[in-house]
């Protein structure tokens, strides 16, 4: 059985918060505003994996209204969700992500971010890829007010 999943996240960027991408803190003037650590990339990945396995979504498992998740490490949230996907018999074939972010430039961080995500999921680095686009000066991404992320995954399991 083969399934795909699509995850999406959008966060306002604010001063005084770290910019977290894939579990890595990227030096930047602004970071994601959020109830947890705000890692929009890991949030989109979590939703993609849960959705592909038809197990729910990140807001269902870790609602922002719950004070337990205030400042939470998004890697831990991803691991908890991924463990449910694994328990349902699924295996990750690949994960492909797009970050829309005006600044800073992502390319110098790509290898480290991909390796962090692969390590968090316990898969080979060849199964994870992340690329970035700018907003070309248009809209909240282009003016540096926000970050958007899309994550697409392919998971498989033996048919029952």
CATH number at residue 49: 3.30.1330.50
Which pLDDT score, from 0 to 100, does residue 103 have?
96
**Distant-in-sequence, close-in-space partners of 37: CB < 8 Å, separation ≥ 6:** 18, 20, 71, 72, 73, 74
Which pLDDT score, from 0 to 100, does residue 147 have?
98
Which pLDDT score, from 0 to 100, does residue 139 have?
97
Query: Given the structure tokens 């282009």, which residue do they identify?
Result: 142
Which pLDDT score, from 0 to 100, does residue 72 have?
84
Give 3-state DSSP helix, strand, coil % of the chain, rounded to 5: 35, 30, 35
Which pLDDT score, from 0 to 100, does residue 66 have?
82
CA distance 31 to 26: 9
Note the Cα 48 to chain centre separation in Å.
9
User: Does residue 6 sit in helix, strand or coil?
Assistant: strand
CB burial readout 91-103, b (16+ within 10 A) else e: ebeebebbbbbbe
Q: 27-73 pLDDT, tens per residue? A: 999 999 988 899 999 999 999 999 999 999 998 988 888 878 787 89
Residue 34 backbone phi and psi in degrees, to 5: -175, 165
Which pLDDT score, from 0 to 100, does residue 31 have?
96
Which pLDDT score, from 0 to 100, does residue 64 have?
81
**Structurally, how many domains does the chain consist of?**
1
How confident is the prediction for the chain on average, in pLDDT? 95
CA distance 70 to 63: 10
Which residues form the domain of 70? 2-156
Taking the chain (160 residues) in runs of 10, the rounded mean pLDDT of each run is 98 97 97 92 98 95 82 92 98 98 97 98 98 96 97 93
């Amino acid at each position: 059985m083969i399934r795909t999943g699509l995850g999406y996240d959008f966060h306002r960027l604010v001063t005084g918060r770290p910019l977290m991408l894939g579990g890595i803190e990227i030096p930047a003037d602004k970071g994601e505003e959020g109830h947890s650590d705000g890692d929009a990339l890991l949030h989109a990945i979590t939703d993609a994996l849960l959705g592909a396995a038809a197990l729910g979504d990140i807001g269902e498992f870790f609602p922002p209204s719950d004070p337990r998740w205030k400042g939470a490490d998004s890697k831990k949230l991803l691991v908890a969700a991924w463990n449910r996907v694994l328990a349902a018999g699924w295996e990750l074939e690949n994960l492909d992500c797009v970050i829309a972010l005006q600044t800073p430039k992502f390319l110098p961080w790509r290898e480290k971010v991909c390796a962090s995500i692969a390590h968090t999921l316990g898969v080979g680095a060849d199964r994870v890829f992340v690329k970035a686009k700018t907003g070309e000066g248009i809209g909240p991404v282009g003016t540096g007010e926000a970050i958007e992320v899309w994550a697409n995954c392919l998971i498989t399991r033996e048919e029952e």
